[in-house]
Structure 1
Amino acid sequence: MTDLGAIVDAFHFIRPWVLLLVPVIALLWWSARRAHVRRDVPAEGIAPHLRAALTVGAHGRRRLEPIDGVAVVLLLVSVGAAGPTWSRVPDPFAAQSAPMVVALKVTPSMEATDVAPSRLERGKQKIRDLLELRAGARTALVAYAGTAHVVVPMTEDPGVMVPYLEGLSPEVMPQEGDRAADALAAAEGLLGGEDGPGGIVFVADALDPADVAALDAAASAVAVLAMLPAGTNDRGLDALAAPVVPVTPDGSDVRRVEHTLNAAYRQALLEDGAQPWEDQGHWLAIPAALLGLFWFRRGFTMRWALVLALAAAIAPVRPAEAGVVDWFLTPDQQGQRAFNSRQYRRAAELFVDPLWRGYALYRDGQYDEAISVLSRVETAEAAFITGMAALKSRHYRDGVRAFETVLARDPDYPGAAENLATAKDIVAYVEHMQETSDTGEDRGIGADEVRYDNESGRGVDTEIEAPEEGASGLLTTDQWMATVDTRTGDFLRQRFALEARQ
């Protein structure tokens, strides 16, 4: 279903009984308008030139009367008071974009250069653009050829995905082939762990006809970003019922893919009975107020009022004219609009409410700033976001304390107990590694200075003096770093090969 179809389907009035005022207003308007209708002067027995002289306002009578403007204003106010709505109030603790899995085809055919610089490299660029467009929404990455492998599980941090994305090449795949159905199964497995419906986007240059039926029958929304030059067709892609978006030089293809896959998610949000409906009646107050400005003018005509109202509606408002926006929206309302548009940095600058400001900072990746702002809010929601920000910034002990605070304020807060257990497991793992870690002193390998979190008294506090460069039998820093293989592609090759054998 398209966005327009979803809006039409969801449109209703929160307070429909207020619409009973509409026929009353119409009746009053008809009665008042009828009184203004001029009765024609009888033509019998009066010369035409005398009849014209005795008739007042024959050529200057207004077609629109002040009562017409009053009726329009009353109708706008009544409809607005009825509470027109077509959307739910957004949940501040739920993602505003559908969870998405990107399935990238990594085969020799994707290295063709008919799409510059190559089909594979252009596909990687498009995936990075998609991550930037989604602004922190939950996204996973699957690579496939003859086998399919989960490269990165669901994450809100696009920075985690980019290094792995760069390491993908046909050489790291254990088997050649085109098994899109296997990639679909892996993607649906990832989406199965999400709270709401999600989408799958395939970035590929071709589709095996044998996999078309599986993609068309997928439980999740599927779209394909076709990495083919203009005018090139593929039998499998042509037979697919799911949307196939051709690659473009600009970002219109990525926006179309994101828009398509989010349609089902927005429809699911509309069906979520836990969230109240968002009253949109306030938008009708603006034209009503503009029309009402002319009431104090004697002899005004609605013709000019309509022209000015139309000009105000279509005139572009430049961002620099923030003062005009302040006339109609509070800073928190402006921040909410920016937040809904996933402009989290801008939202954090606009919000006054510390809970919303802290959550916007969290969604923007400013975790330390979010923790500082949320410290003044003593609610379970604030503590939960603080705990998530602490984990993201690797302050695991602070995360444990924050989730304990959540449970103290609300023992039934969703997700708090699970996150507390996860944070404790991370702390236990870190402390175990401290106890068993090898500092490398027996081989002459050490860091400049190593300090471990020993808050619980486990492990040993250690300070290691770095050896002087050039000392006999010791490696310099450059020599040590040269012995470390940090290429992501080699890591992925070994991991994929192990998964394929299993």
Structure 2
Amino acid sequence: MSDLAFVLEAFRFLRPLWLLLIPLVLLLWWSVRRADRRKPMLAEAIAPHLREALTVGRRGRRRLAPVDSVALMLVLAAIGAAGPTWSRQPDPFAAQSAPAVVVLEVTDSMEASDVAPTRLERGKQKIRDFLDLRAGARTALVAYAGTAHAVLPMTEDPQVMVPYLEGLSPQVMPREGARAAEALQLAQSLLASEASTGGILFVSDGIDAADVAALNASPQPVAVLAMLPEGTRDRGIDSLSVPVVTVTADAGDVRQLDALLNAAYRRARLEESEQPWDDRAHWLAWPAALILLLWFRRGWTMRWAVLAALALLPGAEGARAEGIADWFLTPDQQGRLAYEKRDYERAAELFTDPLWRGYALYKDGQYKAAIEVLDRVETAQAAMVQGIAQIKSQSYRDGVRAFETALARDPDYPGAAENLATAKRIVSYIETLQEGSDTGEDTGIGADEEVYDNESGSGEETERPATAGAAMLTADQWMTTVDSRTDEFLRLRFALEASQPAPPQEGTEP
């Protein structure tokens, strides 16, 4: 579904009674226009050529009059007061893109160089572009050849996926082949644990005909990025009924795929009655302001209309005179604009709502400030973000307490129980290291080393040399960090997984 079609489907008014003013405005406009029409002078009273020369204003009757701009401005104000909207306000604690599983074909055919530099390398580049476009949405990575493997489970940190993505090559895959149906089944299992509707993106240069039916019948949205040069066809890809996008030199293919996978997610978001609608009334303030410029012309002095328009303009009561944007947008609306541009520092300065301000500080990496601001909000959402901020600032036990608070406020809050369990595993892991560490009087801690909290007093403070510029890992990835090369690690892991016996199918004896 295109963006325009989606907007038209979701469009509605929050305060439709204000639209009743439009017929009244049009009636007043028609009355003024009708009264402006002058009766023609009697032909017998004066000669026709003299009458034409002495008549003033006849040629200008059809021109734009002050009442026309007044009527248009009042109509815009009435529509704005009615509250047009076509989307709900974004949840600051939920990703704005659908969860997705990227499935990459890693076969010998993907090393063909007809798509520079190779089909596989270009596919990896497109996946990185896809991750950047989704701005922190939950994404997993699956690789397949003769077997399918979950390279990385769902994560919100795209930087974590990059080294694993770079380590993929046909040499790390344990078996030759191209079992797309097996990869689809694995991707579906990863999406099954997600709370919202997700999608699956295949990056492939061909689909086996035996796997076409499985992809066409998938209950989750599936899209395919065909890594084929222009003019090259594949029988399996041509037989698919799911959307197929051919790789392009620019980012147009990635944007199209993201829109396709997000369509079902955005529709599901519209049905979330807990999230308020996003009032777009302020959009109509700009054309109304442009019409006001006509009032600098001589003769356009219907001042009562200006007062009426200002009374109807949405958000006028909250405007401040600190800048032009303050005439039309509240501080929180300006903060939203900065937030959507990913200027989180500016957004934190603009937001007055503590929930949004705290989340903007968190996104900007100001974890301690975010925790302090969110103390003002006694909701499960606020406690959830506090917990994540505590984890990222390495205050793991405080993170445990924050997740426990979130569950106390809302036992069913999505992800709170899982994050609490992960935080407890981290604390237990650290305490185990501390209990097994050597204690000594002469052990020093350098200025460039990180020390994890040792609230329990178990063993020596656990040290880990800090790595300048290293990306922050999520909890599960921090616990499973490996020191070996990524490609070698993946090769060994995939070989081990391929050697395991397949789980018994339903209805059969193990």
Tell me which interval the TM-score lies in, with the shorter structure as reference length: 0.7 to 0.9
Q: Give the counterpart letter for 2:11 in structure 1.
A: F
Task: Report 1:93-492 matches (<5 A).
Answer: 93-295=93-295, 297-300=297-300, 324-342=324-342, 344=344, 347-348=347-348, 350-351=350-351, 353-364=353-364, 367=367, 370-371=370-371, 374=374, 380-406=380-406, 415-435=415-435, 437=436, 453-458=453-458, 460-461=459-460, 486-492=484-490
Residues 268 and 380 of structure 1, relative CA distance in 2, 3 Å threshold = closer
Residues 187 and 8 of structure 1, relative CA distance in 2, 3 Å threshold = same
Q: Give the counterpart letter for 1:425 in structure 2.
A: R
Residues 407 and 186 of structure 1, relative CA distance in 2, 3 Å threshold = closer
Post-superposition offset of 1:343: 5.2
Would you say the 8 A contact 2:12–2:84 is kept in 1? yes
SS of match in other structure, 2:222: strand
Residues 391 and 381 of structure 1, relative CA distance in 2, 3 Å threshold = same
Structure 2, unmatched stretches of 5+, are: 303-321, 464-481, 501-510
Residue 22 of structure 1 is matched in structure 2 by 22
- Percent identity of paired positions between Structure 1 and Structure 2: 68
SS of match in other structure, 1:72: helix
Residues 301 and 252 of structure 1, relative CA distance in 2, 3 Å threshold = farther
Would you say the 8 A contact 1:41–1:55 is kept in 2? no
Compute the TM-score of the two structures, normalised by the length of structure 2.
0.81
Deviations 1:86-132 (A, max 9, x none): 11121111111111110010111111122222111111111112112
Residue 319 of structure 1 is matched in structure 2 by none
Q: What is the Cα-based RMSD across aligned positions, in Å?
A: 3.1
Would you say the 8 A contact 2:97–2:265 is kept in 1? yes
> What is the alpha-carbon distance in structure 1 between the residues aligned to residue 287 and residue 156 of structure 2?
40
Residues 104 and 343 of structure 1, relative CA distance in 2, 3 Å threshold = farther
> What is the alpha-carbon distance in structure 2 between the residues aligned to residue 452 and residue 19 of structure 1?
60
Deviates more, 1:178-187 or 1:351-360: 351-360
Residues 369 and 164 of structure 1, relative CA distance in 2, 3 Å threshold = farther
Would you say the 8 A contact 2:394–2:453 is kept in 1? no
> What is the alpha-carbon distance in structure 1 between the residues aligned to residue 363 and residue 462 of structure 2?
37
Would you say the 8 A contact 2:295–2:301 is kept in 1? no
> What is the alpha-carbon distance in structure 2 between the residues aligned to residue 210 and residue 143 of structure 1?
19
SS of match in other structure, 2:43: coil
Residues 122 and 175 of structure 1, relative CA distance in 2, 3 Å threshold = same
Would you say the 8 A contact 1:136–1:363 is kept in 2? no
Residues 343 and 169 of structure 1, relative CA distance in 2, 3 Å threshold = farther
Post-superposition offset of 1:373: 5.2
Post-superposition offset of 1:324: 4.7
User: 1:43 and 2:43 equivalent?
Assistant: yes
Q: Give the counterpart letter for 1:284 in structure 2.
A: L
SS of match in other structure, 1:74: helix
Residues 346 and 225 of structure 1, relative CA distance in 2, 3 Å threshold = farther
SS of match in other structure, 2:384: helix
User: 1:499 and 2:497 equivalent?
Assistant: yes
Post-superposition offset of 1:84: 1.4
Residues 35 and 496 of structure 1, relative CA distance in 2, 3 Å threshold = same
SS of match in other structure, 1:38: coil
Task: Report 1:51-66 matches (<5 A).
Answer: 51-66=51-66
Deviations 1:235-285 (A, max 9, x none): 111222222222222222222221221222112111222222222122222
Q: Give the counterpart letter for 1:500 in structure 2.
A: A
Would you say the 8 A contact 2:395–2:452 is kept in 1? no
> What is the alpha-carbon distance in structure 1 between the residues aligned to residue 210 and residue 412 of structure 2?
48
Post-superposition offset of 1:388: 0.9
> What is the alpha-carbon distance in structure 1 between the residues aligned to residue 49 and residue 461 of structure 2?
114
Would you say the 8 A contact 1:451–1:461 is kept in 2? no
> What is the alpha-carbon distance in structure 2 between the residues aligned to residue 232 and residue 345 of structure 1?
47
> What is the alpha-carbon distance in structure 2 between the residues aligned to residue 462 and residue 276 of structure 1?
47
Post-superposition offset of 1:82: 1.3
> What is the alpha-carbon distance in structure 2 between the residues aligned to residue 243 and residue 283 of structure 1?
34
Residues 5 and 300 of structure 1, relative CA distance in 2, 3 Å threshold = same
Compute the TM-score of the two structures, normalised by the length of structure 1.
0.82
Q: Give the counterpart letter for 2:281 in structure 1.
A: G
Structure 1, unmatched stretches of 5+, are: 303-321, 442-446, 465-483
Post-superposition offset of 1:150: 0.5
The number of equivalent residue pairs is: 458
SS of match in other structure, 1:430: helix
Q: Give the counterpart letter for 1:269 in structure 2.
A: R
Q: Give the counterpart letter for 1:184 in structure 2.
A: L
> What is the alpha-carbon distance in structure 2 between the residues aligned to residue 372 and residue 416 of structure 1?
20
Would you say the 8 A contact 2:164–2:486 is kept in 1? yes
> What is the alpha-carbon distance in structure 1 between the residues aligned to residue 452 and residue 14 of structure 2?
57
> What is the alpha-carbon distance in structure 2 between the residues aligned to residue 52 and residue 334 of structure 1?
57
> What is the alpha-carbon distance in structure 2 between the residues aligned to residue 218 and residue 6 of structure 1?
23
